[in-house]
Amino acid sequence: MSEVGITLDSLLGQLLLGLVNGSFYAMLSLGLAVIFGLLNIVNFAHGALYMMGAYFAWIGLTYFGIGYWWSLLIAPSFVAVFGMVIERSLLQWLYKLDHLYGLLLTFGVSLIIEGTYRYFFGVSGQPYPVPELLSGSTDLGFMSLPNYRGWVVIASLAVCLSTWFVIERTRLGAYLRAATENPQLTQAFGINVPLLVMLTYGFGAALAAFAGVLAAPVIQITPLMGNNLIVIVFAVVVIGGMGSILGAVATGLALGVIEGLTKVFYPEASSTVVFVIMALVLLVRPAGLFGREK
Amino acid sequence: MTFVRKHAVLLSLVVVLAIAPFLFYPVLVMKVLCFALFACAFNLLLGYTGLLSFGHAAYFGAGAYTTGYAMTAWATTPELGLLFGVVTAALLGAVFGGLAIRRQGIYFAMITLALAQMLYFFCLQAPFTGGEDGLQGVPRGKLFGLIDLGNDDVMYVFVSLVFLGGFWLIDRIIRSPFGQVLKSIRENEDRALSLGYDVDRYKLVAFVLSSALAGLAGATKTLTFGFATLTDVFWGTSGEVVLMTLVGGVGTVLGPVIGAVVIIVLQNELADKVGSWVLVILGAIFVVNVLLFRKGIVGEITARFNRT
């Protein structure tokens, strides 16, 4: 194989890297799908919230000595509160309007967040160390697995599956699904739908921030990281459709892997392959792989 | 007199354009004109067909890059350069639009955004687009091989004519029977369909027209400033054109022009003074606009005028 320049090692390495990226796609598109399901808003600010998570980790470590593990807990909580404030102060006025206004408003919010962070932190990337517990790598025999990357995949899968479990298998999830289906009727049954909506947006924001903290050690933290990622996640969402939680997760992971493989076989196309796949899916199955039109 | 009344808006624009260079820096006015045309083209889709394209920078940028390339590599005359830009943008619009109209509403916006980002990465990597630097030092050339556009005054007249031509064309499209069908699609797509109109074909034609005009705006921008850069195809530019249209008034003839004036002048005034806060201010305008001011400047004024 070496004459074509592809070794098994680099193939597996890229595959893992793709899986890591796919985990981020999965977590972000999951959050988008949950928010869209209940709020009917495509949350453009999702990327900015993800970026806020990463910055929280970095600020916490740099200025307050808060370690990675605490950040993993604190950053999502802070961003969740921030998200709920946004929902109560801005988004709640839009639910009766065309969906497009939600996209436009959250786009504005993402600009405000990005601009503020650019003002305070500039555009150059900040490094974040891999936590000690997860530094180094494990020799699997056929390849060496950097521990941290393995952790990212496992942690994000765990979060995605718990989200699925909560929504599909618990009482709270049943309320949520009922409110998605018919908010008026759910309200009539005595369930506080506006509260549910606020918590849902907060949860989606927390999910984005969690992904941001997870990403901090494997990427350069910049104010631009969120909005650059969100466009790709939109493509992922178009491919998968926003109707199914597991569909969103599976699509995210699969596209990450495909992107990783493209880096090995045809690196020039690696940044566009997701968009090309989106175009193909639109030609073959316009409603998306797991989609149902809302 | 009927001629004057029918073309009142256009004629007043001619008057404004004739006075403007004596009051403002002509290059700034030219920039405003390019973006005003861009916003008008965008408004043809959002305001009159009800389609939110969140990736309109793709067609603006396609026009900008193609014209830049034609002028530099093939040393064409500016009118041919513009033609290349417009045709490329229209073709791109046909392909991207054809894909995007397969979905409605919010998905349409996401698809157009994603496709535009694909073009962004293409322009970043392609061997002939100059990568991070873009195309620099594009000559203005001689119009029809005769009129030297190197002179800023001549260029001003030329850009004004291009803008007025584009504006007139859009106005003409909106008032035509074709434009009426577009509006009916905006109001109620299912009903238009049930009346026997091939909705998808109307949408596609509107999309191609809009991208061609956006391409013309981008191409003219390249000629004016002599460069085409990644900013032209960046999603931020797509967002700006949405904002201009929103601020001025979606679905009004003059709104996008007013919006372009407001946003460009604001950026121009603030860029040196407040740095990154420009982004915050633009974002805040977006938020305020969506929450309190959805009709935009022209829309609010018209509404108030009609009430009294």
Would the CB atoms of A282 and B111 count as touching at under 8 Å? yes
Residue with more model confidence, A71 or A228: A71
CA distance A253 to chain B (A): 18
Of A100, A101, A282, the CB nearest to B102: A282
For chain B, how are helix, strand and coil distributed in percent, rounded to 5?
80, 0, 20
Q: Reduce the secondary structure of chain A to three states and give it as a string.
A: CHHHCCCHHHHHHHHHHHHHHHHHHHHHHHHHHHHHHHHCCCCCCHHHHHHHHHHHHHHHHHHHCCCHHHHHHHHHHHHHHHHHHHHHHCHHHCCCCCHHHHHHHHHHHHHHHHHHHHHHHCCCCECCCCCHHHCCEEECCCCEEEHHHHHHHHHHHHHHHHHHHHHHHCHHHHHHHHHHHCHHHHHHCCCCHHHHHHHHHHHHHHHHHHHHHHHHHHCCECCCHHHHHHHHHHHHHHHHCCCCHHHHHHHHHHHHHHHHHHHHHCHHHCCCHHHHHHHHHHHHCCCCCCCCCC
> Within a domain: residue B285?
no
> Within a domain: residue A272?
no
Which of A181-185, A284-288, B35-39, B296-300 is least confident?
A: A284-288
Q: How far is CA B253 from CA A6, B2, B152, B248, in A?
A: 57, 19, 28, 10
CA distance A251 to chain B (A): 16
> Within a domain: residue A34?
yes
ipTM for the assembly:
0.90
> Within a domain: residue A185?
yes
Q: Is the pLDDT at A169 greater than 70, yes or no?
A: yes
pLDDT digits (tens, 9 = 90+) for B255-284: 999 999 999 999 888 877 877 788 899 999
> Within a domain: residue A266?
no
Of A111, A268, A278, the CB nearest to B283: A111
Of B110, B282, B289, the CB nearest to A238: B110
> Within a domain: residue A122?
yes
Mean pLDDT score, A257-284: 88
> Within a domain: residue B268?
no
Count of domains observed in chain A: 1
In chain B, what percentage of residues exceed pLDDT 70? 99
> What pLDDT does A165 receive?
92
Residues of chain B positioned with their CB less than 8 A from the CB of A112: 279-280, 283-284, 287
Residues of chain B positioned with their CB less than 8 A from the CB of A103: 52, 54, 106, 109
Mean pLDDT score, A43-51: 94
Place of tokens 């022209």: B298
Chain A residue with minimum CA distance to B288: A105
pLDDT digits (tens, 9 = 90+) for B115-143: 999 999 999 988 888 888 888 888 888 77
pLDDT digits (tens, 9 = 90+) for A3-20: 455 677 778 888 888 999
Chain A residue with minimum CA distance to B118: A272
> Within a domain: residue B274?
no
Count of domains observed in chain B: 1
Mean pLDDT score, B103-109: 87
Give CA–CA dist B141/B164, Å, rounded: 21
B contact test, residue of A46, A238, A290 with most B CBs within 10 A: A238
CA distance A92 to chain B (A): 10
> What pLDDT does A114 receive?
92
**Closest of B226, B281, B145, B210 to residue A118, by C-alpha:** B281
Mean pLDDT score, B195-203: 93
> Within a domain: residue A236?
no
Q: Which domain holds residue B77?
A: 25-234
> Within a domain: residue A232?
no
Of B110, B276, B283, the CB nearest to A109: B283
Would the CB atoms of B117 and A103 count as touching at under 8 Å? no
> What pLDDT does B1 receive?
61
- CB contact B293 to A (< 8 Å): no
- CB contact A39 to B (< 8 Å): no
> What pLDDT does A1 receive?
40
> Within a domain: residue B294?
no
Q: How far is CA B26 from CA A275, B10, B17, B21, B268, in A?
A: 40, 20, 10, 5, 13
Chain B residue with minimum CA distance to A36: B106
Mean pLDDT score, B173-185: 94
Q: Which among A11-20, A110-119, A173-182 has the top mean pLDDT?
A: A110-119
Of A103, A110, A271, the CB nearest to B121: A271
Q: Is the pLDDT at A2 greater than 50, yes or no?
A: no
> Within a domain: residue A29?
yes
The pLDDT-based confidence of A294 (bands split at 50, 70, 90) is very low
Which of A215-224, A283-292, B107-116 is least confident?
A: A283-292
Q: Which domain holds residue A142?
A: 2-226
